[in-house]
């Protein structure tokens, strides 16, 4: 059913050739089938604590959590990819607000659990809730401008203020993780990765400055355009370090890796959208749906991270574990 539905929508609402529609629909349908079958077969075992005491069993559950996360990313973004041009703005705003709300709710649940346990990480997760709350508010405002007021690209707008302010608590949260969990890892490989990221961001900033110089934008637009990649770079550096430090670590630290992936997805989306906006506004309008899929992946990544963190604490019966 999914195969025929997806193929029909591709032929009806896109410029794909019949063989391309058949290929795309087959891949998406098989991915959905694989996720649904595995999730259904293991849903009972997912919450069986007696079978998940040993580390190998916990690893098995972690794999299913990751598989389900990937399945949800594909499924949610399929609504955007398969939508027609006239309805795509509705699906992009709808899916982003759903994924952002999911991430916020997951963070609130974890925060309440940390508070009840008098965990040392209560304040850290409190800042995460504030940051995600600000970004969720920004997504709602952006949706109001596009759907309610009919503005194709509401930039700059009040939504930018909430997004930019939201970087402050998110930065505190990520650097707090870096200081307390990674034990300030400074090995050679880590420094190479961090240096490469800094260089890439600086190159992009220089290119963006020169690209915007011919667009006759005002000072406010220029400052906001440059603020996003700068703030993304501030978040990206500890995210890359955490990701590199825990690349082969135990399941207790997997949620930090997934939170870092959230930052990476958002950074890629910001850079892509800023570049499109630097070229011209029409380009940004045409490409916005592409970068919105990265935002969806980011929000779902942090929601999955918090779900696994909460689940892992329940499996190990250790409320204050990291």
pTM of the model: 0.74
Tokens at 244, concatenated: 């590199």
Q: Cα angle vertex 205, ends 142, 283, to 5°?
A: 45
C-alpha Rg value of the chain to the nearest Å: 21
DSSP characters over 181-209? TS-----HHHHHHHHHHHHHHHHHHHHHH
Cis peptide before 156 (omega within 30 of 0): yes
Residues, the chain: 322
What are 23's two structure tokens? 């290929």
Residues near 117 by Cβ (< 8 Å), separated by ≥ 6? Answer: 319, 320
Between the alpha carbon of residue 160 and those of residues 140, 155, 251, the distances in Å are: 12, 8, 36
The residues, ordered by sequence, that sit 6+ positions from 110 with a Cβ below 8 Å of its Cβ are 125, 306, 309, 310
Cα atoms in the Cβ-side hemisphere of radius 13 Å centred on 209: 8
Q: How far apart are CA 72 and CA 62, in angstroms?
A: 15
Q: What is the pLDDT along the chain (322 residues), one digit of tens a residue?
A: 544 455 555 555 555 556 555 655 565 655 555 544 454 444 444 444 444 445 556 666 667 778 888 899 999 999 888 888 888 899 999 999 999 999 999 999 999 988 888 888 888 899 999 999 999 999 999 999 999 998 887 878 899 999 999 999 998 888 787 776 665 555 545 655 665 666 566 556 656 655 655 555 667 777 787 788 778 877 877 777 777 766 555 566 677 778 888 888 888 888 778 777 766 667 667 778 888 999 999 999 999 989 888 877 776 664 444 4
Looking at residue 112, what is its pLDDT?
92
So what's the pLDDT on residue 257? 77
Kindly tell me the burial class for residue 82, based on how many C-beta atoms sit within 10 Å of its own C-beta (0-12, 13-18, 19 or more). Answer: buried
Predicted pLDDT of residue 131:
95
Nearest to 212 by CA among 228, 233, 196, 232: 228
Q: Residue 71: which of 21, 25, 30 has the closest Cα?
A: 30
What φ, ψ does residue 155 adopt, rounded to 5°?
A: -135, 130
Query: Rounded to whole angstroms, what are the CA distances from 218 to 160, 206, 279?
Result: 15, 18, 15
């Amino acid at each position: 059913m999914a195969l025929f539905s997806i193929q029909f929508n591709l032929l009806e609402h896109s410029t794909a050739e019949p063989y391309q529609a058949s290929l795309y629909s087959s891949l998406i349908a098989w991915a959905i089938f694989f996720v649904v079958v595995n999730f259904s077969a293991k849903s009972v075992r997912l919450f069986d604590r007696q079978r998940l005491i040993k580390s190998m069993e916990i690893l098995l559950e972690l794999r299913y959590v990751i598989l389900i996360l990937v399945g949800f990313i594909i499924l949610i973004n399929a609504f955007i990819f398969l939508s027609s041009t006239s309805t795509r703005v509705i699906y992009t705003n709808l899916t982003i607000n759903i994924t952002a709300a999911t991430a916020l709710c997951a963070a609130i649940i974890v925060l309440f659990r940390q508070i009840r346990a008098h965990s040392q990480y209560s304040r850290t997760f409190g800042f995460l809730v504030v940051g995600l709350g600000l970004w969720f508010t920004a997504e709602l405002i952006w949706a109001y401008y596009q759907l309610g007021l009919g503005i194709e690209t509401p930039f700059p707008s009040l939504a930018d203020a909430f997004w930019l302010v939201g970087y402050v608590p998110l930065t505190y949260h990520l650097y707090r993780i870096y200081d307390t969990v990674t034990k300030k890892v400074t090995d050679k490989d880590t420094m190479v990765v961090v240096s490469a990221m800094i260089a890439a961001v600086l190159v992009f900033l220089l290119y963006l400055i020169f690209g915007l110089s011919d667009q006759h934008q005002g000072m406010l637009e220029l400052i906001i355009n440059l603020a996003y990649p700068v703030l993304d770079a501030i978040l990206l550096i500890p995210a890359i370090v955490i990701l590199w430090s825990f690349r082969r670590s135990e399941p207790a630290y997997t949620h930090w890796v997934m939170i870092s992936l959230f930052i990476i997805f958002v950074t890629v989306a910001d850079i892509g959208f800023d570049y499109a906006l630097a070229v011209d506004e029409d380009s940004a309008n045409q490409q916005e749906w592409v970068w919105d899929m990265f935002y969806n992946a980011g929000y779902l990544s942090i929601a999955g991270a918090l779900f696994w963190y909460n689940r892992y604490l329940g499996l190990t019966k250790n409320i204050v574990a990291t």
